[in-house]
Amino acid sequence: MKRYLFGFLVLGGAVALAGACSSNGEETGGTGATTTTTTTTGQGGTGTGGFAVGGGGAGQGGEAQGGGGSAPTGKWVSGYHVGYQAWLYPTDAIDFSGLTHLVVGAALPNADGTLDTSFYLGGAQGPAFATELTTAAHLAGKKAILMIGGAGTYAGFSSAASSAHRAAFVQNLLAARNDLGFDGLDLDWEPLGPADAPDFTALAEALRAADPTLILTVPVGYVNANFPQVDAFWATVAPLFDQINMMTYGMADAWPGWDSWHSSALAGESGTTPTSVSSSAEAYIAGGVPAEKIGVGIGFYGSCWAGGVTAPGQAAGGSSVVASDNDMSFTNIVNDYYVPGNAHYDAAADAPYLGFANGHGPYGCTFLSYEDEQSILAKGAYVKSRGLGGAIIWTIGQGYLAAAAEPNPLLVATRQGFLE
């Protein structure tokens, strides 16, 4: 999974605009008949995007919460829940005590400014799924945010936000917000290149002007610490958004010049392991984004390396990440991979991992990086100490342990780490 917005992904010396994906560079999601505001059938990718320099070879770059929903600490935890994972996590099982905002995905932009609101479920199931979740969130005293776009929706998003269709797009976005009971919108335009900046800004400005109380959030990419400059664009548009959330998960693979590394290290980055939550946050702050508007990313999934490496910081050789988002959910890690004797905690990175001499589990993992309660608490402590705004979770359904005495251990940790 590689997610960058308003920046460049540099691999092996070649520069290209980088999009966002939700699973090892592959789009996920489903097809379904559109409803409510569109007349076509659409296929949607998932994930979120950011505009920062990230990924690539190690030497080559690979606040206020608008309308309420604040925790006692003033921090937010915005958790994504997407239609194609509806079966993973029943609505009545959601532990809202670990959330301030529920982000429901996704409504997909069409080129003419209309929306596909099937939420990857098809027919009337999509709007029913969304309204069930917004109702549950409000009953729990939380805010509900509608995710717009995601990986694979660039053509529709860019056309819908253009001057030719922007007015209709804004009208349809606000209509969907009202019809489905949402409090705000999460703008996941992927990939967002420099040429898209004017239309993206104009879209956010138009939404703000149409409804000043609207909660507006945007996901942004993590930063390669070897190239820590964040485009000044984000400081410019920061006043338009309530949350600017870094997707600081899935931050490593066997890219040129990289050693094996954690999916979401809090710290400990180096020249050959050049990603961490803290270095990304510092880059955005240095780029002019207010600390209180920045959220860190927490993945309720891990990264399975196969091919020989057994721990972070080893020469990748023929190893690589072979499974991550969806396949390597926290639920699957606990059920299919976790062995107490093979569990380790990297104190320098504040990240757990499993190491196996031989391939283990369905994907033959030898090094499995993931998130646990201890690492989430560490991220919460960092957010509080640095004055950041909060966190996002991709995705809450991947952390649910239906048969466990405590079925939501990671959401318990987000509550304790961020909201108490």
User: pLDDT tens across 161-209, in order?
Assistant: 999 999 999 999 999 999 999 999 999 998 889 999 999 999 999 999 9
Say if residue 179 is exposed, middle or buried (CB neighbours under 10 Å; 0-12, 13-18, 19+).
middle
At 365, the amino acid letter reads C
Q: How confident is the model at residue 20 (pLDDT cuts 50, 70, 90)?
A: very low
- CA–CA dist 111, 203 (Å, integer): 14
- CA–CA dist 340, 338 (Å, integer): 6
- CA–CA dist 44, 376 (Å, integer): 30
Interval 10-32 mean pLDDT: 30
Condensed to tens digits (0 to 9), the pLDDT of residues 285-321 reads: 999 999 999 999 999 999 999 999 999 999 999 999 9
Please give the pLDDT value at position 70. 55
Interval 148-155 mean pLDDT: 95
- Residue 202 in contact with residue 36, Cβ under 8 Å? no
- Whether the pLDDT of residue 93 is over 80: the answer is yes
Interval 312-332 mean pLDDT: 98
- Residue 368 in contact with residue 302, Cβ under 8 Å? yes
- Residue 42 in contact with residue 60, Cβ under 8 Å? no
Whether cis (ω within 30° of 0) applies to the bond prior to 106 is: yes
SS (H, E, C) 249-292: CCCCCCCCCCECCCCCCCCCCCCCCCCCHHHHHHHHHHCCCCHH
Please give the pLDDT value at position 73. 85
Percent of the chain clearing pLDDT 70 (strictly above): 83
Please give the pLDDT value at position 40. 29
Say if residue 153 is exposed, middle or buried (CB neighbours under 10 Å; 0-12, 13-18, 19+).
buried
Residue 183: closest CA among 68, 49, 78, 64 = 68
Residues near 87 by beta carbon (within 8 Å), at least 6 away in sequence = none
Condensed to tens digits (0 to 9), the pLDDT of residues 235-290 reads: 999 999 999 999 999 999 999 999 999 999 999 999 999 999 999 999 999 999 99
All structural domains of the chain, each given as residue ranges with its CATH number in brackets, are: 8-300+376-419 (3.20.20.80)
- Angle (CA) 398-403-407 rounded to 5° is 55
Residue identified by tokens 């915005």 is 78
pTM: 0.87
Condensed to tens digits (0 to 9), the pLDDT of residues 344-359 reads: 999 999 999 999 999 9
- CA–CA dist 418, 384 (Å, integer): 8
